[in-house]
Each structure stands twice: as structure tokens, then as C-alpha cells.
Amino acid sequence: MVYSCWKVCASSMIHRTSSAIAYPNIALIKYWGKRDEELILPYGDSLSMTLDIFPTTTTVSLDDDLADDQVILNGDYADASTLSRIRGFLGRVRQLAGCDTPALIKTDNAGPTGAGLASSASGMAALACAASDAYGLSVDRRGLSRLARRGSGSAARSIFGRFAIWYAPGEDDPDPDEASYAEPVEDVAVDLALVVGIVDDAKKNISSREAMAHTVATSPLFPGWIRAGQADIVAMRAALACGDLQKVGEIAEYNALGMHATMLAARPGIRYLSAASLGLLDCVAQLRHEGMCAYATIDAGPNVKVLCCFEDADRVAEALCEAVVGTRSVIARPGPEAHLVSHHGG
């Protein structure tokens, strides 16, 4: 298969062990709904901020003695669904690289796993970086974004640091000009912080993949959600470019609540929001009432992230902890792109 932005290195260049690090991203304009489950092609564009906290570090070691891929996640053997997802992803890398060797994958999340804090974005972005290097694929950033997308849609954006937009169009993945990929958003004039209010770091009961498919299939609000998202993207880009924090926050909050409304309207409804999430939303509304520019966004889990300017971040973090007993808060800023940290062998 020929990819203009992927090529296989000469076999002497294959790195047998490669490690990479990638950071989670939180969407200001959300991706919720695939029009192609296999290729992971979204219905709408999405736009995110990559964080400087909770990275995933992943090491891929090719090993001819293994019968099949082994995955160690946070120090334990991965469960069956994680294992099959990672094996599927590596199968694709091997196909592109023309190499059958299985691999041992060690992956560690510094933050909570599967709790709506984007561990699949950082995880699949780190895996795409490490695996493509270990198997000797020479791939540019756009190619890496397309590859990461096949692991988890939102991972396409974690290849880039700071702010990224993932474009929905693209039908045929093998043609890079037609493919759906993310790229950096450079025109950002706001000094944003994102305060993560963690109310529950347990793994969610329903995966975003399953919840998304159910929403697309059954929610009568879905077409309206996609229409609104396209307008939100345009307004968000303009607000970021002119440094209008209030607009950025308003659009992000409306968009996130719209996503939750759409899934609540599915039949039966899907609810990631808990009483604690609502408590934190009230707290953010109260901060605004007191004159602070603070806005919330929530993903596929109960935890609430608050957008504000960096000078207000400590006050927001404190307010979240006081508002709901048991809340832990962590301050994030725009973070780095996914990158390799080491490679050995040949």
C-alpha cells in the first residue's frame, strides 16, 4: 500500500524498542458520532486543547519469541477489550510496515484511565508514535494523526500540542488527501487554563464508542447537534483568534451541554453526568455570578473541566474542592505534542 505521508524504512532502520509520550486533549468543540465505525470518521469537526498533565508513556518492544502481542497497562495485564483494541491497531501498523513480529506493549497513564479524562486520546497517540517508530514506518505528523485516529478518534488531536482541529471530511483512508486528520490551530490569542475537577476516577460503565453509536442510532436530537457543532467550530476559531475568553468559554460550555443533551435524549438515554457533576456546574455558574470568567466542559464521564484564565486557576481549583465533598482538582495549561522519548535496536 502506498501512502504519500507514510513509508517503510529500510529494514536496517527498524527500531526494535521505541517509547513515546503523549498528553490528553479536552475538546472545546466535541466529537460525538461516527459516520464510519471501521475507519473512525466523524460526522463533525472538533477542536481541542492538549493538556500538560496526565501523560501516557508507552513502550513498544518487537519480540519474535512472542506468539501474540502482550499488553501491560498500568502494571497489570490489560483486560480482553483493551487487548483486542491494541492488537487490532498493531495489526494495522504491521500491515503498513510489512512485518509480522508481535510486540510487548507497556503503557502507563499518569492520570485516571477510562474516566472521561481523555486517557484513550493520550494512550492511542503515544501508541501510534511508539509503534510506528518500532516497526520502521516513516510517518509525518498528519500521517501520525490519521494513524492515531484509527485507535481512538480523539487521539488524532493528541498528536499535536496546544490547540488542534480534527476535520471531519474524508472518505477513503488510503488516500492522504482525502483522509480525515487533525492539524494545529495556531491562531490563539487567549492565555487559557483548564482546571480539572475530579469527582470520580473509576472507569466508566459504558464506553464512549458504544455510547456514541447508540446516540447516532437513536437520538432524535442528533442531526441538530451536528448542525450546531459546525457553527460552534467557526465561532470558536474566531473567539480564540481574537482572544475573547468569555466567548471561548460560552461556546465550549454550550457545546458540551448540547452533547450531553443529545445523548440524554437517546432511547434509552445515556447519562454520564452525576449529582457531583451538577454540583460543580452550579459552582462554575456561581463563580460567574461573582464576576469570574469561568466556563465548564464535560466529556464521557462525570468529571468537570473548567476553562478560565491562568491567574484565576487557583481560585477555581479551590472553589471546586469546596463545592462538592471529595473533589480533587488539578490545573492544566496547553501542553506539548506527542513525541518519542527513546528507541533502541535495529
Q: Residue 27 CB, nearest distance to ligand PMV (Å)?
A: 3
The verdict on 295 binding ligand PMV (CB under 6 A) reads no
Q: Residue 259 CB, nearest distance to ligand PMV (Å)?
A: 7
Question: Which one-letter DSSP state was computed for residue 177?
Answer: T
* 3-state SS assignment for residue 124: helix
The footprint of ligand PMV on residues 102-131 (CB under 6 A) is 120-121
Look up residue 206 and give its amino acid.
I
Contact residue for ligand PMV among 45, 69, 133, 299 (CB under 6 A): 299
Q: Residue 15 CB, nearest distance to ligand PMV (Å)?
A: 27
Contact residue for ligand PMV among 60, 195, 294, 300 (CB under 6 A): 300
Contact residue for ligand PMV among 209, 214, 247, 339 (CB under 6 A): 209
* Length reported for the chain: 346
The bridge status of strand 34-36 relative to strand 56-62 is unpaired
Which parts of the chain fold into alpha helices (H)? 80-97, 119-134, 141-151, 155-158, 208-218, 222-241, 245-264, 275-289, 313-323
Q: Residue 171 CB, nearest distance to ligand PMV (Å)?
A: 20
Is-contact 272 260, C-beta < 8 A? yes
- CA pair distance 253, 28, nearest whole angstrom: 8
The verdict on 262 binding ligand PMV (CB under 6 A) reads no
The verdict on 27 binding ligand PMV (CB under 6 A) reads yes
Contacts of 296 (CB under 8 A, 6+ apart): 253, 256, 280, 281, 284, 304, 305, 306, 307
The candidate with the shortest Cα–Cα distance to 23, out of 187, 199, 164, is: 164
Q: Which stretch binds ligand PMV (CB under 6 A): 27-35, 84-92, 174-182, 192-200?
A: 27-35
The verdict on 158 binding ligand PMV (CB under 6 A) reads no
Question: For residue 42, what is its C-alpha cell?
Answer: 466523524
Q: Which stretch binds ligand PMV (CB under 6 A): 10-18, 61-69, 149-157, 214-222?
A: 149-157
The footprint of ligand PMV on residues 225-244 (CB under 6 A) is none
Q: What is the contact surface with ligand PMV in residues (CB under 6 A)?
A: 27, 30-32, 46, 120-121, 152-154, 208-209, 299-300
